[in-house]
Chains A and B, each alone.
Chain A
Amino acid sequence: MSSLTTDSEDDIGWKRCLVAGASAFGISALLLFAMLVLVDPYDSGRGWLGIDGVDDRNTYTSAASRARDPQFDAAIIGNSTAQPLNPADLSRATGLRFVQLYLTGGSPREQLAVLDFFLRHHPRVGALVFVTDPFWCQHRRAETRPGDFPYWIYGTNSFAYAARLMSREGIEHAFQRIAIGLDMRKRKRVDGFYSYEDVWLPGSFRDLNPPRDPAPALSAAERDFFPEIAELDAAVKKLPVDVPVVIAVPPTLATTVARSGTVAAQEREACDAALAKIVAGRPRSNFLNYRIDNAQTRDRVNFADFIHYRESLAGKIVSGVAESLRLGNAAKVAF
């Protein structure tokens, strides 16, 4: 566009200011963006500097780093109700190399996004363990607040990923990763295990976190329809037939287990049946239901709150999962 005005000397000075401001903005934005692309703040596998790992407690953003780690061939997927399962114990018991990919408060859809990311980065999968809390049993897809979970980290669109890098969080993570690369900072535990008993000390029970059991189905047809489980089923069907899959329903305090004959119990049975169907016929696979009323689930010592069980139960679940990965549904699971 041709100049529409006669520039005075003063205007020339102010135009230089505009150019200086715009240039500083543009150049610093470009340099910052280049740094972020090179460093790959979330270790999603798109970086160029070859720094391994993250120093990040936020499981939503840190799971990508672990999920693509080639030293693992098996994964535990779930939310905090999967967190107490120690992948090292499971690896020792099975000979596989397990990584913990729990997402704190993660919804089924978010867990499926992590599963998809794990599968994309592991052409050969040793085993998969899903810990399915009652959130999976909803008849209508759960609404999640937009922006809470960074799907863009786990997606396939690198442009969408790059577009989200320019954020304070992205910059903070980038500097953390640079510090890891320079050996000035340690990465978080590689297999992702972090016991919540470090925070919720043994011996204490909090009347918090009742299970997110589904609202009753509005019709008989709806009772057997679980959209999130259908997606999990589709994902498992895409796996090679020899990949063992274990689905475990985590224990909750016995007072929250539905009484036989109630609508809630019927709902639970329908959900369990749908989950069991996913692994039916698959070799070395099993469906394990730990949400039962027994002496252990009645004892509050075994729980931090209604849904978060302690190591005493986690050890038994690990044994049950390991036994299932060996013998499939013929496994004798003690609980």
Chain B
Amino acid sequence: MLFNDYPFLLGFLPAAILIYRFADPHPSWRIPVLVLLSAVFYAWWNPPFVALLVLSIAFNWLAALAYLRTKRASIITIAILVNLAVLAGFKYTNFISANIGLLLDRPMPQFDITLPLGISFFTFHHIMYLVDLRRGKAPSYPLGHYALYISFFPQALAGPLVRWSEVMSQFGRKVYQPGWPRDFCIGICFIAIGLFEKTFLADRIGRIIDPIYAQAAQGPLSNGDAWLALSFSFQILFDFSGYSDIAIGLGLLFGIRLPFNFNAPMRATNIQDFWQRWHITLMNFLRDYLFQPMVNTRLRFLPRRLFAVQYFGALLLTMVLCGLWHGASWTFVLWGAIHGSALVVCSLWRRYGPRLPALIGWALTVMLVIVTGVIFRAGTLEAAWNIFSGLDVAPRLERGRHLGPLFIVPLVAFLLPSSQDIIARLARKPRPWLAAMLGIGILVLLIELGEQHAYEFAYYRF
């Protein structure tokens, strides 16, 4: 079930709202009902993997319980290693096997492994809680709360990555209390804007460039289409920010405020600024649970005056791992390494270099994001090279209006504020006429959704 298909929007979602409406007056029902609805949502895709989700929840909750009883830090370490091992088993087995094969110069077996939906995200949720538990920052929670934290359907598959501290206190609260109509209106606004981003912006670009990337995987591009492939970064921006906005909106319909994930990243004036605006919750996770521990660890072999080496090394490594988290491919590693290097250069420039005009900083940032987007999307280094080498042929623009999305969507990314800022402006006070227009807009969106085979959200793959 996708957020942008009819079974979800016209079936599951209305049913879930109705069911929860009946559960809401009964405090003891609220969390179990949401957990059950989340399990149904997850099972729709692949029922057997619900068992993995349930096992994962039970294992980590029991590990937390055992730690609180014994205070043995090794329990947390083992639990985190098990989580990472399961993630690696599903996600990286073939990648590791293929690369060992390359090293040994002999074919290695490749396995037919289905990646459980959302495993990268729920693994990180477990890690956030377990690490904070060991740091003494997190309390213990009943199983129901913990199960909902991991499985809450709006964010279970592709985020936003939510800290336990951001949502645990919201679980079990009464939804239908004063203020709920406003939350509902805002939630529906987020869902509508998210569907618009996905359907009218991201998918429109996807339809143009998907065949180009397929062609690049087969061989060189010599017809000028390589230029069109550069627009991938705008596709993934609106694909993922669309998904995140829908998730935030859905959360509000069930009384949960999820954190924002994007803040108009294409308006960033340097790469550091960009990473504070793009996939914000992942960056916060990487900063707090990977980068900072690496920076704060005292390395005996490294003199304190060379701390900058450790700092920038940690920065680079964080971004490389960020790349690898997105997928088991060297293209992701290269993408992460380039962004890590750019962050290092940006950091040094800001300290030692002259101040760049914002416009130049913005142009450099956008160019970097666009170029590295090709590496991110291409799948293989050869395909990425085929795109880049195809740029020596001028683009064919005679297709006119068919290429419209490639001009319009970047303008939207450059000129419009973030969706939360737009909604904050719209929701200053209740305006029924605006709500009526939104109702008609949602009808248009639903009609448009019926026209196409639903495009999966890109981050479901990660």
Q: A residues within 8 Å of B by Cβ?
A: 1, 4-8, 10-11, 13-26, 28-29, 32, 147, 166-169, 171
Contact = CB atoms under 8 A, between A and B. Distances in A.
B185 A17 contact: yes
Contact of B442 (A11, A13, A14, A25): A25
Interface residues of B, number: 33
A22 B437 CA distance: 10
29 contacts: A1-B21, A4-B174, A5-B178, A10-B182, A10-B430, A11-B181, A14-B182, A14-B185, A16-B430, A16-B432, A17-B432, A17-B434, A18-B184, A18-B185, A18-B435, A19-B432, A20-B439, A21-B185, A21-B188, A21-B436, A21-B439, A24-B437, A28-B440, A29-B443, A166-B450, A167-B450, A167-B451, A168-B448, A168-B450
Contacts of A24: 435-440
Nearest to A4: B176
A5 B438 contact: no
B48 interface: no
Contacts of B436: 20-21, 23-24
In terms of DSSP, what is the predominant structure of the interface of chain A?
A: helix
Contacts of A10: 179, 182, 430
Contacts of B447: 166-168, 171
A15 B430 CA distance: 9
Contact of A13 (B24, B176, B177, B429): B429
B430 A14 contact: yes
A4 B185 contact: no
B439 A23 contact: yes
Interface in B144-194: 174, 176-182, 184-185, 188
Contacts of A167: 447, 450-451
Given A25-B439, A25-B440, A25-B443, A13 B430 contact: yes
B184 A14 contact: yes
A13 to B, nearest CB: 3
The 8 closest A-B pairs by CB, nearest first: A13-B430, A24-B439, A14-B181, A25-B439, A24-B436, A17-B435, A20-B432, A21-B439
Given A25-B440, A167-B450, 19 more contacts: A1-B21, A4-B24, A5-B177, A5-B180, A8-B178, A11-B179, A14-B185, A17-B185, A17-B432, A18-B184, A20-B433, A20-B436, A24-B440, A25-B439, A26-B439, A166-B450, A167-B447, A167-B451, A168-B448
Contacts of B177: 4-5
Contacts of B435: 16-18, 20-21, 24
A169 to B, nearest CB: 7
Nearest to A147: B453
B185 to A, nearest CB: 5
Nearest to A13: B430
B25 interface: yes
B431 interface: yes
Contacts of B437: 24
B176 to A, nearest CB: 5
